[in-house]
Amino acid sequence: MKFRLATWNINSVRLRLPLIERFVAAAQPDILCLQEIKCAEDLFPLAAVQQLGFPHVAVSGQKGYNGVAILSKLPLGTSEKRDICGRGHARHVSVTLEASGGPVSLHNLYIPAGGDIPDPAVNEKFQHKLDFLDAMEAWFKEIPDRDQNRMIIVGDLNIAPLETDVWSHKQLLKVVSHTPIEVERLNRVIAAHDFIDVMREHVPAEEALFTWWSYRNRDWRVSNRGRRLDHIWTTPALAGTSRSMSVLEDARDWEKPSDHVPVIAEFEID
């Protein structure tokens, strides 16, 4: 089974539907995972995305906040919405894809941003982020058959773990998304199921790699103060199945853009 998978924090699916149309025409993804759709499920533009060629859709929505969706040209099996941290937030949806070697589970995640102050004692949003990561670690640890599970994790994880995932490691050590406590928590999540960083399989860890540029930057290309907040992981059972990976930086220049850009990976899975 060959397919092209894309993940994108769209920052309002209804507001940026024209950008989705433009991206689909340019990149031709078979599966598109969106985060921060910012709408309840009954307001999701289902007919519009189906007209773009995605007859199969799984949505976990929330009025005005959060929300994730999976749009697929491929048939989807079982769908699940998991309340990872018990807050009632729409931050996860998963589906199964059928392959000749057995099912593949695809998880689309939106980890809390964490606010501005990296101190859980004074910033409840940051505490929520840490709690969410702890809950993810516990969840992945509980899943049996680690060596056999065929899983793909995508989404806006709101953490840039490597020094080359941010424009300045030294200057961002005390900035939410790159603090040592967040990176340590994310590494524990990765270790909980031995996840593989697909993006870094294709771009060496020594090279800068960004997927997000702040709206505050007047000329984001000139300043290039980016961070890699969007990720694609696989379990070891799918090691080596990603054939390519690209980041569509040009989408940051589109009219009324998201501050995130799409990440695209091509897979070939038996």
φ, ψ of residue 23 in degrees (nearest 5): -65, -45
Each residue's pLDDT, cut to its tens digit, for the chain (270 residues) gives 999 999 999 999 999 999 999 999 999 999 999 999 999 999 999 999 999 999 999 999 999 999 999 999 999 999 999 999 999 999 999 999 999 999 999 999 999 999 999 999 999 999 999 999 999 999 999 999 888 999 999 999 999 999 999 999 999 999 999 999 999 999 999 999 999 999 999 999 999 999 999 998 889 999 999 999 999 999 999 999 999 999 999 999 999 999 999 999 999 999
Q: Confirm whether pTM is higher than 0.75.
A: yes
49, amino acid identity = V
- Number of domains making up the chain: 1
Question: b or e along 92-104 (b: 16 or more beta carbons within 10 Å of the residue's beta carbon)?
Answer: bbbbbbebeeeeb
Residue 157's closest CA among 12, 18, 263?
A: 263
CATH of the domain at 166: 3.60.10.10
- What whole-number distance in Å separates Cα of residue 90 and Cα of residue 81? 8
Show the domain range for 111.
2-268
- What whole-number distance in Å separates Cα of residue 83 and Cα of residue 89? 7
